[in-house]
Amino acid sequence: MAYQKLLDKHLLLCRISKMIVICTDNTAMESWSHSLGVEAIHDECFLTPTNAEQHLFDYIEVYYNPEQLHSKLGYMSPEAFEFKHVA
């Protein structure tokens, strides 16, 4: 109950998976969350929401999308994969 109140206080929605847990459920998002936590925000201290927003923007748009290689994308970055398949 305290967890739900904390989510409500910060206007966050809780995503609850299927009742029967499947180990492959949402693996792409789990991987992304891990990368974000370990590479972008681990041990960071943001003084303002604007600082956090800029840091996350830089991680996603300057590093992750154009440079981070993914085995699921044939060892291409998300940006290169999208360009190849949309062009």
State residue 18's pLDDT score: 59
**Once rounded to an integer, what is the mean pLDDT over residues 66-77?**
91
The domains of the chain are located at 48-87
What single string gives the DSSP state of each residue in the chain? -HHHHHHHHTT-PPP---SS--TTTTHHHHHHHHHIIIIIITT---SSHHHHHHHHHIIIIIIIHHH--BGGGTSB-HHHHHHHHH-
Mind listing the pLDDT tens digit for each residue in 45-56?
Answer: 999 999 999 999
- Is the pLDDT score of 21 beyond 80? no
Q: pLDDT-based confidence at 23, cuts 50/70/90?
A: low
Q: Is the pLDDT of residue 20 over 90?
A: no
Residue of 26 and 67 predicted with greater confidence: 67
